[in-house]
Amino acid sequence: MFKQIKNWLGSVKGFVTCPNCGDSYWWKPTSIIWYSSGRGLSICTECYNNPVNLNINQIKHSLYKYHWDWKNVEAVGTALIKFKEESEHETKKNKQEKEVSTDQKNNLQH
Ligand SMILES: [Zn+2]
C-alpha cells in the first residue's frame, strides 16, 4: 500500500503522526525520546534509528501545531540535540572499532 494512503487511513482512524516524517502511527512502530522525568516524545522507530535525519525545527513546528506548551517544546529541542550528539558519538565509536578490527585482520593475513 502507498505510504500516503496508509497515512490517510491512519488519520481517518484518529492516529497521530510522527512529528519528524509525518507518517501515521497506525502503521509505524514508535519509540520514545525522554525529555524530562516521566515525559517523553514519541517518534516513529524509523526516525529514532536515524537521528541524523531528525529535523529539530520541523519537530518543534509539529509540536506547536499540536498545541504543546512552549516550555515542553524547548525541552524536547534540547533533548533532541543531546540525542543527536550522542548518536553521532556512537556512530564514530562503532566506525573506529570496525576500522581497528579490519586492521587486525590485515595483520593476521601478513
Ligand atoms: Zn518518523
Q: How far is the CA of 86 from the centre of ligand 1 (A)?
A: 19
The answer to whether residue 67 scores a pLDDT higher than 80 is yes
The answer to whether residue 49 scores a pLDDT higher than 90 is yes
Query: For the residues 61-82, what does the mean pLDDT come to?
Result: 95
Class of residue 65 by CB neighbours under 10 A (exposed 0-12, middle 13-18, buried 19+): exposed
The answer to whether residue 8 scores a pLDDT higher than 90 is yes
6 vs 25: CA distance, rounded Å: 10
Closest by alpha carbon to 47, among 57, 37, 55, 38? 55
57 vs 16: CA distance, rounded Å: 19
Give the pLDDT band (50/70/90) at residue 57. Answer: very high
The answer to whether residue 109 scores a pLDDT higher than 60 is no
User: Rounded to two decimals, what is the model's pTM?
Assistant: 0.79
Q: How far is the CA of 41 from the centre of ligand 1 (A)?
A: 12
Q: How far is the CA of 107 from the centre of ligand 1 (A)?
A: 42
83 vs 33: CA distance, rounded Å: 8
| pLDDT, greater one: 89 or 72 | 72
- Quick one: cell of 28? 509505524
The answer to whether residue 76 scores a pLDDT higher than 70 is yes
Give the pLDDT band (50/70/90) at residue 89. Answer: confident
Q: How far is the CA of 60 from the centre of ligand 1 (A)?
A: 14
Q: How far is the CA of 62 from the centre of ligand 1 (A)?
A: 12
Q: How far is the CA of 17 from the centre of ligand 1 (A)?
A: 8
The answer to whether residue 12 scores a pLDDT higher than 60 is yes
